[in-house]
């Protein structure tokens, strides 16, 4: 019997095996410099020494974001199995390995509910059925408009050291549609975008922007459908040499034409998570990482060397401890291994609480748990810990708590957290040197970079968006291009508009504009005055 048949008998599918968390490790939080001899395999130590000399400037940094950037809060990286120092290159490659079939959410849903429940008994109607191009990221629907190339294409810029650099390009006709879209956005009337989509049903930015409008109106199905249509349009425009999953293709986020591709992938990943397909969402997260999606805070730019500093981010510090705790609770594990995982979980959680005490009270509040009087009144975990946080760290803390609080609600996890908090208070009262060391390290969180602000806006977590600085919330933020990079590369520019007459903002458009986080009625009135 073939291997494939054996997998089917066991109810398994290729590429859908559970993630192995056995190698989940974090380096010592007290180590500030990267030890290349422990990071690279023995066969690559000579190369690693040369790289260590080349990256000597990275040592003794004063801002944590200079070393660890783009890792703060990717929903599907919280439980990512990171490699330890003994991993081979092939093992590291497997962490980001993506198979085409794993990009289809139906593969995961069939595992949970069976093919009959997912597909149903409905047969596709042959009459008036449209034939779409076969793609990997989306399944074209018969309800979609007939596809015709919208005027977007992909070009190979260069090939260097086995890596191919591509970019999307807008044709002349597509540029004209893009200018009309920008006019529709400035009108703040969603009906204008709808009218534009009726004539150009596969215009990317219109699909992204209208998806946000549908999501605000709680029409999740339509919002998800529009994102899938945008991905389909992108995949149909891909270059023949462009590889979705091999990791050898790159797209520069600084180029305006490429940004919508990242945003469509990210929004699709978020919808998959809400749909109950976390494994498929993880595959799309890895897909973004393979394109170096650092501007969306999903890029693990230095997987070989940066893992020793991940404990300086609250999401990795707490989630890795939680992973080891769950490993210790498995029934089919050797008791000695289980005890080791539990001890490691206790140590990691205590370090996380000492490093980030501001996480505890907001986490308990969202879990509807009343903290002990000794905990809430103690200076280490009380209101002082919230006020004393650097603004950038408060942003990361709110992002993690808002995204993962449901993972801490289990009774066993809460008892474990309670015991760790008591131990931390004992160490604080005993003036453990680790406490002062962690307090000094928190000064590295000077200011969050623009890509982290962008990720917070896309996360749609109110606890995190409310912590954004004023310079972010006071500027216009649009779903089709949130917080564009300051050094954007534009291949064409928009012609200047001739404003004739006065235009009054309708009640409907004012309503949609009020839903934006940066809405200001006084500024809106000033904008209208400029049109007159």
Residues 442-461 have pLDDT tens digits of 777 877 888 888 888 888 88
In whole angstroms, what is the distance from residue 51 CA to residue 337 CA?
Answer: 36
∠ CA 21-26-29, rounded to 5°: 160
Which pLDDT score, from 0 to 100, does residue 438 have? 86
DSSP 8-state assignment for residue 532: -
pLDDT band at 292 (very low <50, low <70, confident <90, very high): low
**Confidence check: pLDDT of 194 > 90:** yes
Residues 400, 359: contact at Cβ < 8 Å?
yes
Residues 445, 399: contact at Cβ < 8 Å?
no
Could you tell me what percent of the chain has a pLDDT over 70? 69
CB atoms within 10 A of CB 221: 9
Residues 155, 239: contact at Cβ < 8 Å?
yes
Residues 209, 512: contact at Cβ < 8 Å?
no
* Beta-ladder partners of 168: 154
List of residues 6+ apart from 364 with CB closer than 8 A: 370, 371
Top-confidence range, 12-26, 102-116, 128-142, 317-331: 317-331
Pairing mode, if any, of strands 249-251 and 163-170? parallel
Residues 345, 25: contact at Cβ < 8 Å?
no
The more confident residue out of 333 and 256 is 256
Residues 466, 436: contact at Cβ < 8 Å?
no
Top-confidence range, 123-137, 165-179, 473-487: 165-179
List of residues 6+ apart from 232 with CB closer than 8 A: 132, 135, 137, 138, 140, 144, 147, 202
Q: What is the mean pLDDT of residues 292-299?
A: 56
Q: How far is CA 2 from the centre of its chain?
A: 38
Which pLDDT score, from 0 to 100, does residue 16 have? 42
Pairing mode, if any, of strands 152-160 and 249-251? unpaired
SS3 for 471? helix
**Confidence check: pLDDT of 190 > 80:** yes
Q: What is the pLDDT of residues 78-127, one digit of tens each?
A: 333 333 334 444 444 566 778 888 888 888 888 888 877 777 644 555 54
**Confidence check: pLDDT of 77 > 80:** no
Which pLDDT score, from 0 to 100, does residue 315 have? 86
**Confidence check: pLDDT of 38 > 80:** no
Could you tell me what percent of the chain has a pLDDT over 90? 33
Lowest mean pLDDT: which of 111-125, 378-392, 496-510?
Answer: 496-510
In whole angstroms, what is the distance from residue 370 CA to residue 358 CA?
Answer: 16
**Confidence check: pLDDT of 48 > 50:** no
In whole angstroms, what is the distance from residue 343 CA to residue 355 CA?
Answer: 18
Which pLDDT score, from 0 to 100, does residue 102 have? 84
**Residue reference for tokens 């309670």:** 418
Tokens of 249: 């293709």
**Confidence check: pLDDT of 152 > 50:** yes
Which pLDDT score, from 0 to 100, does residue 71 have? 39
pLDDT band at 136 (very low <50, low <70, confident <90, very high): confident
The residue among 9, 19, 8 whose CA lies nearest residue 281 is: 19
Residues 48, 273: contact at Cβ < 8 Å?
no
* Beta-ladder partners of 164: 159, 249
Which pLDDT score, from 0 to 100, does residue 19 have? 39
pLDDT band at 508 (very low <50, low <70, confident <90, very high): low
Q: What is the mean pLDDT of residues 405-433?
A: 94
DSSP 8-state assignment for residue 382: S
SS3 for 50? helix
Q: What is the mean pLDDT of residues 258-267?
A: 93
Which pLDDT score, from 0 to 100, does residue 209 have? 94
Q: What is the pLDDT of residues 216-230, one digit of tens each?
A: 898 999 999 999 999
The H or E element that residue 155 is part of is strand 152-160
List of residues 6+ apart from 263 with CB closer than 8 A: 208, 296, 458, 479, 480, 481, 482
Which pLDDT score, from 0 to 100, does residue 97 have? 79
What's this model's pTM, rounded to 2 decimal places? 0.73
Lowest mean pLDDT: which of 69-73, 339-343, 469-473?
Answer: 69-73
Q: What is the mean pLDDT of residues 61-84?
A: 39
Q: What is the mean pLDDT of residues 172-181?
A: 94
Which pLDDT score, from 0 to 100, does residue 422 have? 95
∠ CA 323-326-328, rounded to 5°: 110
Is the alpha carbon torsion for 34, 39, 42, 44 positive or negative?
Answer: negative
pLDDT band at 192 (very low <50, low <70, confident <90, very high): very high
The H or E element that residue 170 is part of is strand 163-170
Q: What is the mean pLDDT of residues 265-269?
A: 92
**Confidence check: pLDDT of 240 > 80:** yes
The more confident residue out of 240 and 448 is 240
Q: Mean pLDDT across the chain, nearest whole number?
A: 76
């Amino acid at each position: 019997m073939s291997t494939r048949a054996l997998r089917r008998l066991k109810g398994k599918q290729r590429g859908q095996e559970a993630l192995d968390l056995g190698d989940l490790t974090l380096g010592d939080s007290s180590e500030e410099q990267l030890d290349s001899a422990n990071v690279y395999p023995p066969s690559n130590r000579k190369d690693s020494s040369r790289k260590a000399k080349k990256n000597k400037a990275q040592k003794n940094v004063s801002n944590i974001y200079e070393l660890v950037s783009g890792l703060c809060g990717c929903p599907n990286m919280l439980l990512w199995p990171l490699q330890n120092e003994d991993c081979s290159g092939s093992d590291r490659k497997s962490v980001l390995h993506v198979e085409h079939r794993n990009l289809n959410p139906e593969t995961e849903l069939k595992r949970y509910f069976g093919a009959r429940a997912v597909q149903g008994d409905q047969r596709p109607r042959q009459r008036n059925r449209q034939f779409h191009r076969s793609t990997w990221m989306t399944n074209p629907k018969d309800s979609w408009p007939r596809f015709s190339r919208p005027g977007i294409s992909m070009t190979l810029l260069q090939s260097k050291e086995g890596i191919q650099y591509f970019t999307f390009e807008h044709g002349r006709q597509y540029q004209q549609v893009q200018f009309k879209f920008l006019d529709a956005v400035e009108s703040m009337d969603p009906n204008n975008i709808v009218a534009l989509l009726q004539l150009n049903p596969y215009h990317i930015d219109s699909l992204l922007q209208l998806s946000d409008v549908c999501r605000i109106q709680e029409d999740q199905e339509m919002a998800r459908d529009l994102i899938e249509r945008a991905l389909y349009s992108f995949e149909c425009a891909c270059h023949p040499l462009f590889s979705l999953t091999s990791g050898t293709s790159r797209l520069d986020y600084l180029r305006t034409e490429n940004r919508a591709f990242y945003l469509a992938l990210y929004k699709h990943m978020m919808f998959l998570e809400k749909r109950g397909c976390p494994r498929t969402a993880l595959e799309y997260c890895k897909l973004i990482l393979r394109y170096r999606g650092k501007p969306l805070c999903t890029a693990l730019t230095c997987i070989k060397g940066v893992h020793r500093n991940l404990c300086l981010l609250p999401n990795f510090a707490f989630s890795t401890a939680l992973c080891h705790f769950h490993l210790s609770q498995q029934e089919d594990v050797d008791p000695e291994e289980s005890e080791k995982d539990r001890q490691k979980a206790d140590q990691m959680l205590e370090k996380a609480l000492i490093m980030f005490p501001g996480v505890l009270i907001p986490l308990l509040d969202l879990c509807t748990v009343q903290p002990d009087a000794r905990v809430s009144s103690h200076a280490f975990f009380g209101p002082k810990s919230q006020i004393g946080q650097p603004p950038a760290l408060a942003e990361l803390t709110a992002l993690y708590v808002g995204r993962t609080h449901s993972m801490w609600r289990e009774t066993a996890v809460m008892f474990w957290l309670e015991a760790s908090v008591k131990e931390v208070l004992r160490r604080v009262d005993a003036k453990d040197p680790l406490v002062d060391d962690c307090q000094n390290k928190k000064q590295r969180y000077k200011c969050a970079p623009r890509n982290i602000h962008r990720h917070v806006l896309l996360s749609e977590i109110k606890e995190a968006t409310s912590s954004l600085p004023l310079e972010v919330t006071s500027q216009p933020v649009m779903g089709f291009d949130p917080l564009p990079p300051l050094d954007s590369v534009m291949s064409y520019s928009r012609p200047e508009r001739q404003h004739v007459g006065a235009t009054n903002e309708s009640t409907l458009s004012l309503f949609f504009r009020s839903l934006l986080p940066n809405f200001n009625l006084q500024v809106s009135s000033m904008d209208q005055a400029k049109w007159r």
